[in-house]
Amino acid sequence: MKQALTLYTRIKRKQMFLALILGILLMLLQLGSSFWQDKLPESIYSGVALTAGWLLLGFVSLLNDQSRRLDTWLYTQRISRGQLFLTRVLLLVVVPIIIGLMVNVAVVLCVHPMDLWKPLENIIEVCIGFYFFASISALIYTVIGPSWMKVAGIIFTLFMAVTPMTYIESKLNNIWWLDFTSTFILATVLFAFSYSLSKKISADTVDEAVRIKAFRWPVVLFVFLSSYLMILSNNFSTLNIKVVIGSLIIPLIASGITFTFVFKPTFKITWDR
């Protein structure tokens, strides 16, 4: 693990530094605008800006790893695929979140030294949200091949996750620790699942929509079910047979497109006898 951390840090030193700089710039922007607009309480979210900038650039640099075939080379190195996955989670997810959290705590201590609990609760909630979204991104990064499909997959999944997440949160809102704990556990389970999948990734599947064969149908089904359920839940108040059938159109198109990318069916149209 030490070798994985040392090697990856050395290779990505510049990008990680850039990500940190971007995060700090965003943080300063947040701090500056809070002071400028005389909205001091908002300055407690400056660490959140730092984390967001860092995470975003970290993800872009991950896509870069794939397009430059760094992933492929790292598979030949004195590190296992699992160690590479953990290294990335540690350096590109855990470190930015912890540093952002520390900055936030420091700012809270300066701005609200008397009333720590409520702002800290908000900050922890945001950090766990980052952790959860990072876990979804990690799973999609692992399972999906081409970079643009990874990005499209993350946007789609996050969009689909909004409705059920809001619903669950509304149910758990009164018991904040349960909300935090369940999100944290779910994200950790997703990371663990991605970790086990990352060990099975072969470099030759980089151009395949779904890199693990067993996940081809589940991905198509996920696209269909998630989009169908989301449309249904948005029309819950006016639910009737017409809505139920009408709501099928978009999910069918979305899953049809996904099916085409995943299975690459070839239809031969010919007039020759």
Cα–Cα dist 9/228, whole Å: 42
Is residue 7 a contact point for another protein (CB under 8 A)?
A: yes
Tokens at 43, concatenated: 């300055």
Report the distance separating Cα 258 and Cα 77, nearest Å: 34
Paired with 213 in beta bridges are none
Closest contact distance (angstroms) between CB of 195 and another protein is 16
CB 117 within 8 A of CB 44: no
Contact between 180 and another protein by CB under 8 A: the answer reads no
Q: Which stretch binds another protein (CB under 8 A): 26-34, 72-80, 119-127, 227-235?
A: 72-80
**Does residue 196 belong to the site contacting another protein (CB under 8 A)?**
no
* C-alpha dihedral sign at 173, 186, 210, 1: positive
Could you say which of 99, 203, 232, 248 contacts another protein (CB under 8 A)?
203
**Per-residue x/- marks for another protein, 51-70, CB under 8 A?**
--------------x--xxx
d(CA 111, CA 122): 15
In the complex, minimum distance from the CB of residue 202 to another protein, in angstroms, rounded to a whole number? 4
b/e map 205-243, b = 16+ CB within 10 Å? ebebbbbbeebbeebbebbbebbbebbeeeeeeeeeeee
Query: Which CB atom, from 38 or from 207, has the smaller least distance to another protein?
Result: 207
Residue among 98, 93, 92 nearest 9 (CA): 92
Place of tokens 């952002």: 100
Cβ 73 to another protein shortest distance, Å: 6
Q: Write the CA distances from 8 to 79, 120, 175, 227, integer angstroms.
A: 10, 33, 40, 38
* Contact flag: residue 171 with another protein (CB under 8 A): no
Which of positions 75-134 make contact with another protein (CB under 8 A)?
A: 75-80, 83
Instruction: Output 61 or 247, the one with its CB closest to another protein.
Output: 61
Binding segment for another protein (CB under 8 A), chosen from 45-53, 122-130, 155-163, 199-207, is 199-207
Please say which residue, 77 or 234, places its beta carbon nearer to another protein. 77
6 vs 196, which CB is nearer to another protein?
6
Closest CB 66 distance from another protein, rounded Å: 10
**Which one of 7-15, 36-44, 107-115, 181-189 is the stretch in contact with another protein (CB under 8 A)?**
7-15
Cβ pair 86, 2 in contact under 8 A: no
- The contact set with another protein (CB under 8 A) reads 3, 6-7, 10-11, 65, 68-70, 72-73, 75-80, 83, 200-204, 208
